[in-house]
């Protein structure tokens, strides 16, 4: 085997650049050859920019132009493609621009261009008419993930808000009609003044309203609401009209906001609003019964009373109503994740309807050329919870993964979106689209989707969506170029994390250009180095192209190869999770038992009194940490006398003696937020205590 030149080998192993055969790469605008054709991404047809129009899902401009051109004549189809290219350029220049403004600028360019000006103007008008009104063009930028998620979240929220607003409005009108009908038959409404006011102005002189009032007063009144029911309906109407969760016609109340840039602030808002949300849900359930004439005071008063064993979540209609309440959208960037992750996991563990974006702009640590993650730790922890929708993707994939993105927003459970924007600080002005696509392709930031609503089997829930050649360790490409002697070169080569890291200017010290006269067979691709355990005498070298298209060979340092090996190992884990056979159980076990997340600080509870700290409790005495309760209702389903809801709709331990120790242990095991502490049994003769005590000990 030929031994590499000592200069290249020394650089690869210890980072020493010496000798005439090696040169610096900083400032040379080099790209891996596989990416070189995409240097000017705006000149090429791809998924971006996106059309964001109110009331419509996001759509790529290319897809919209194709739809508008379907069945059209060749002239319009060709000119529509020309206009699409101009619009793409404008979106790339501005980041985001209104479609009207983009068409205005494109029209000015068309007027200044030679050719069929009249035909181009006609095509421009036809294309504009075919595209959605009030739309904006959004390119793949740093803020694209948040912009897109907010757009799609608003569409999902609009559907649910419409149902909730319609229900509130309908029930409010029906309750108001009941009160009006009762008032119309009351003695107060039958005075001469009221009767006169109820008649049109033209007829007021034709009647003796005093005599009419005396006659009507003699007629005995039958029925009537009764003061108790009247007060109840009036109280329900007041709750419906003062609510701030959705906008309703005629209400002066300013609706709450549900978009946050802090998980802690969002959680505090949810806790503060929770009593009001439960009061509204209770009022809607009661109003439906009242409007249908089905409210039975003897039965329903106790059922809907705050603090009763079945109120509020198990009362008729409550769960159906709560499903239409707004979700909370939390948009975070990577710099905030260390502080925000514990709060996010606390919300997810409680099953709160939080949709969270964790946007990453930089995959590198500032002190070492090693990716911070190939699989986001927050995403892996969320996967272990089992019921959280999780999507990890590059920003370049968000258009293609639109259906999956919307599925997570449409579900009522929590959702996490971890997105790499590609807008890093040291990528030399490269398009974020290109950088994020390279991160996915190189397995530095692979994509996947976990949807707990997609089925019961793991294979139905988890997919390696959007990764090229997902069965292979690396995506393989055919690289073609012309060498200095004008000979055509072609080779099949893997696109590894080394190629991705070479895009970052901070990695320039880990790369060295090799003079053409020093090229030799011991300089092999990074993919070969990563695949072969015995690499003595070889060095990883990758072909890179400059801005003029000239191809150079560049040797990579050992640190880049080590980083790529780490990405490769984590990619194998994802392959096992998304594949089949014997590898899956081991992989699933890794997801089910991740490294412990940092213990979150307890959030302030809305209840007036705070539960004593756990340290002050006798471990042998059963107790329930009410402020942690997520109101899932599981413990009430086991024993509604032992556990009841308080005025805030959170569970309390009412009477430990009202049930068995087995029920206490089962409730503790089923509690999603571990708020129930079973203590020791009250009945020493209860059967199966040995096993129950072991289970209780494991819950301490």
What is the per-residue DSSP string for 521-590?
A: TTEE-HHHHHH-S--TT-EEEEEEE-TT--EEEEEE-HHHHHHHHHHHHHHHHHHHHHS-STHHHHHHHH
Q: Out of 58-62, 203-207, 501-505, 536-540, which region has the weakest mean confidence (pLDDT)?
A: 203-207
Tell me how far apart the alpha carbons of residues 597 and 599 are, in angstroms, rounded to a whole number. 6
Cβ neighbours of residue 385 under 8 Å, at least 6 residues apart? 345, 348, 349
Give residue 463's pLDDT band: very low, low, confident or very high (50, 70, 90). very high
Structure tokens, 655: 């009477």
Q: Which SS3 state, helix, strand or coil, does residue 517 take?
A: helix
Q: Are 636 and 651 in contact (CB under 8 A)?
A: yes
What's the mean pLDDT when you consider all of the chain?
82
DSSP 8-state class, residue 122: H
DSSP 8-state class, residue 399: T
Give residue 533's pLDDT band: very low, low, confident or very high (50, 70, 90). low
Q: How far is CA 317 from the centre of its chain?
A: 28
Give residue 627's pLDDT band: very low, low, confident or very high (50, 70, 90). confident
- Reported as a single tens digit per residue, the pLDDT across 206-260 is 566 566 555 555 555 555 678 888 899 999 999 999 999 998 887 778 899 999 9
Q: Which SS3 state, helix, strand or coil, does residue 131 take?
A: coil
Buried b / exposed e across 296-326, counting CB within 10 Å, b at 16+? eeeebeebbeeebbbbbbbbeebeebbebbb
Cβ neighbours of residue 37 under 8 Å, at least 6 residues apart? none
Give residue 118's pLDDT band: very low, low, confident or very high (50, 70, 90). confident
**pLDDT, mean of residues 429-437:** 92
Cβ neighbours of residue 568 under 8 Å, at least 6 residues apart? 443, 473, 474, 496, 497, 530
Tell me how far apart the alpha carbons of residues 560 and 539 are, in angstroms, rounded to a whole number. 12
Q: Are 4 and 539 in contact (CB under 8 A)?
A: yes
Pairing status of strand 539-545 against strand 31-32: antiparallel
Q: How far is CA 559 from the centre of its chain?
A: 34
**In DSSP terms, which residues pair with 32 in a beta bridge?**
544
DSSP 8-state class, residue 371: B
Give residue 474's pLDDT band: very low, low, confident or very high (50, 70, 90). very high
**pLDDT, mean of residues 392-411:** 94
pLDDT reported for residue 195? 56
**pLDDT, mean of residues 594-601:** 42
Tell me how far apart the alpha carbons of residues 42 and 61 are, in angstroms, rounded to a whole number. 12
* 184 has a pLDDT exceeding 60: yes
* Overall fold of domain 614-698: Alpha-Beta Plaits (3.30.70)
* 366 has a pLDDT exceeding 70: no
pLDDT reported for residue 578? 83
DSSP 8-state class, residue 602: P
* 612 has a pLDDT exceeding 60: no
Backbone angles phi, psi at 582, to 5 degrees: -70, -20
Domain range annotation of the chain: 49-139, 146-322, 329-472+583-592, 614-698
DSSP 8-state class, residue 4: P
Q: How far is CA 558 from the centre of its chain?
A: 37
Tell which phi-psi region holds residue 217, choosing left (phi > 0), alpha (psi between -120 and 50) or beta: alpha
pLDDT reported for residue 607? 36
pLDDT reported for residue 97? 96
Cβ neighbours of residue 534 under 8 Å, at least 6 residues apart? none
pLDDT reported for residue 317? 59
Length of the chain: 700
| Cis peptide preceding 156, ω within 30 of 0 | no
**pLDDT, mean of residues 399-415:** 93
pLDDT exceeding 70 applies to what percent of the chain? 80
More confident residue, 618 or 603: 618
pLDDT reported for residue 113? 53
Backbone angles phi, psi at 632, to 5 degrees: -75, -20
Tell me how far apart the alpha carbons of residues 338 and 384 are, in angstroms, rounded to a whole number. 19
With tokens 């206490």, the residue in question is 664
- Reported as a single tens digit per residue, the pLDDT across 322-345 is 778 899 999 998 788 888 999 999
Tell which phi-psi region holds residue 428, choosing left (phi > 0), alpha (psi between -120 and 50) or beta: left
pTM of the model: 0.76
pLDDT reported for residue 186? 59
Tell me how far apart the alpha carbons of residues 634 and 444 are, in angstroms, rounded to a whole number. 41
Q: Count CA within 13 A, CB hemisphere, residue 420.
A: 32
Structure tokens, 234: 């009036």
Q: Are 316 and 236 in contact (CB under 8 A)?
A: no
Give residue 364's pLDDT band: very low, low, confident or very high (50, 70, 90). confident
Q: Are 35 and 438 in contact (CB under 8 A)?
A: yes
* 594 has a pLDDT exceeding 70: no
pLDDT reported for residue 614? 38
Give residue 49's pLDDT band: very low, low, confident or very high (50, 70, 90). very high
Cα separation values, 614 from 332, 611, 622, 656, 664, Å: 32, 9, 12, 18, 18
CB-based burial of residue 689 (10 Å sphere; 0-12 exposed, 13-18 middle, 19+ buried)?
middle
Tell me how far apart the alpha carbons of residues 646 and 628 are, in angstroms, rounded to a whole number. 13
pLDDT reported for residue 203? 57
More confident residue, 87 or 200: 87
Strand (E) or helix (H) holding 98: strand 96-98
**pLDDT, mean of residues 262-269:** 95
Q: Which SS3 state, helix, strand or coil, does residue 23 take?
A: strand
pLDDT reported for residue 197? 60
Structure tokens, 426: 């040291």
Nearest to 314 by CA among 24, 643, 41: 643
Structure tokens, 231: 């007060």
pLDDT reported for residue 346? 93
* 599 has a pLDDT exceeding 60: no
Give residue 538's pLDDT band: very low, low, confident or very high (50, 70, 90). confident
Give the N- to C-terminal CA distance of the chain in Å, as an integer: 62
Backbone angles phi, psi at 220, to 5 degrees: -65, 135
pLDDT reported for residue 584? 46
* Overall fold of domain 329-472+583-592: Rossmann fold (3.40.50)
């Amino acid at each position: 085997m030929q031994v590499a030149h000592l200069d290249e080998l020394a650089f690869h192993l210890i980072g020493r650049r010496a000798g005439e055969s090696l040169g610096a790469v900083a400032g040379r605008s080099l790209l891996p050859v596989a990416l070189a054709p995409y240097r000017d991404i705006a000149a090429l047809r791809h998924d971006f920019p996106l059309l964001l129009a109110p009331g419509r899902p996001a759509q790529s401009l290319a897809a919209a132009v194709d739809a508008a051109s379907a069945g059209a004549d060749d002239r319009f189809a060709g000119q529509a493609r020309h206009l699409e290219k101009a619009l793409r350029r404008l979106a790339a220049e501005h980041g985001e621009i209104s479609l009207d403004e983009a068409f205005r600028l494109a029209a000015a360019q068309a007027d200044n261009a030679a050719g069929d000006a009249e035909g181009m103007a006609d095509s421009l008008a036809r294309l504009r008419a075919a595209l959605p009104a009030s739309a904006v063009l959004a390119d793949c930028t740093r803020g694209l993930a948040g912009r897109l998620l907010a757009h799609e979240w608003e569409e999902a929220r609009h559907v649910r808000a419409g149902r909730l607003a319609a229900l509130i409005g309908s029930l409010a009108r029906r309750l108001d009609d009941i009160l009006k009908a009762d008032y119309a038959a009351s003695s107060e409404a039958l005075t001469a003044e009221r009767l006169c006011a109820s008649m049109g102005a033209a007829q007021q002189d034709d009647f003796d309203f005093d005599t009419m009032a005396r006659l009507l007063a003699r007629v005995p009144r039958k029925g009537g609401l009764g003061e108790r029911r009247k007060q109840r309906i009036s109280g329900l109407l007041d709750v419906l009209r003062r609510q701030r969760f959705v906008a309703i016609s005629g209400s002066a109340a300013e609706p709450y906001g549900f978009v946050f840039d802090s998980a802690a602030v969002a959680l505090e808002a949810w806790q503060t609003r929770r009593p009001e949300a439960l009061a509204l849900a209770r009022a809607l359930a009661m109003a439906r019964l009242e409007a249908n004439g089905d409210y039975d005071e003897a039965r329903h008063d106790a059922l809907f009373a705050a603090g009763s064993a079945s109120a509020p979540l198990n009362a008729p209609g409550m769960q159906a109503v709560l499903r239409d309440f707004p979700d909370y959208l939390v948009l975070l960037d990577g710099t905030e994740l260390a502080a925000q992750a514990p709060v996010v996991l606390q919300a997810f563990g409680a099953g709160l309807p939080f949709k969270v974006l964790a946007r990453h702009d930089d995959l590198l640590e500032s002190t070492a050329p090693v990716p911070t993650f190939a699989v986001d730790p927050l995403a892996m922890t969320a996967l272990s919870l089992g019921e959280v929708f999780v999507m990890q993707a590059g920003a370049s994939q968000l258009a293609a993964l639109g259906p999956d993105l919307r599925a997570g927003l449409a579900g009522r459970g929590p959702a996490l979106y971890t997105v790499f924007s590609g807008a890093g600080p040291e990528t030399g002005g490269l398009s974020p689209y290109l950088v994020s696509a390279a991160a996915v392709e190189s397995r530095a930031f692979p994509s996947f989707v976990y949807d707990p609503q997609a089925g019961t089997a793991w294979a139905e829930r988890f997919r390696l969506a959007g990764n090229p050649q997902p069965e292979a360790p690396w995506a393989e490409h055919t690289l073609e170029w012309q060498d200095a002697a004008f000979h055509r070169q072609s080779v099949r080569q893997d696109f590894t994390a080394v190629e991705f890291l070479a895009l970052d200017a901070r990695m320039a010290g880990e790369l060295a250009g090799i003079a053409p006269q020093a090229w030799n067979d011991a300089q092999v691709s990074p993919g070969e180095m990563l695949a072969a355990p015995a690499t003595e005498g070889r060095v990883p070298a990758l072909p890179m192209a400059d801005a003029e298209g000239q191809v150079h060979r560049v040797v990579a340092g050992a640190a880049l190869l080590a980083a790529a090996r780490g990405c490769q190992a984590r990619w194998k884990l994802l392959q096992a999770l998304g594949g089949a056979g014997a590898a899956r159980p081991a992989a699933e076990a890794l997801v089910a038992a991740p490294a412990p997340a940092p213990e979150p600080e307890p959030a302030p509870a809305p209840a007036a009194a705070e539960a004593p700290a756990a340290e002050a409790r006798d471990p042998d005495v059963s107790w329930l940490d009410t402020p942690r309760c997520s109101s899932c209702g599981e413990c009430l389903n086991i024993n509604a006398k032992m556990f009841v809801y308080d005025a805030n709709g959170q569970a309390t331990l009412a009477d430990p003696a009202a049930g068995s120790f087995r029920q206490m242990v089962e409730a503790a095991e089923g509690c999603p937020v571990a708020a129930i502490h079973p203590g020791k049994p009250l009945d020493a003769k209860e059967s199966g205590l040995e096993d129950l005590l072991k289970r209780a000990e494991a819950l301490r």
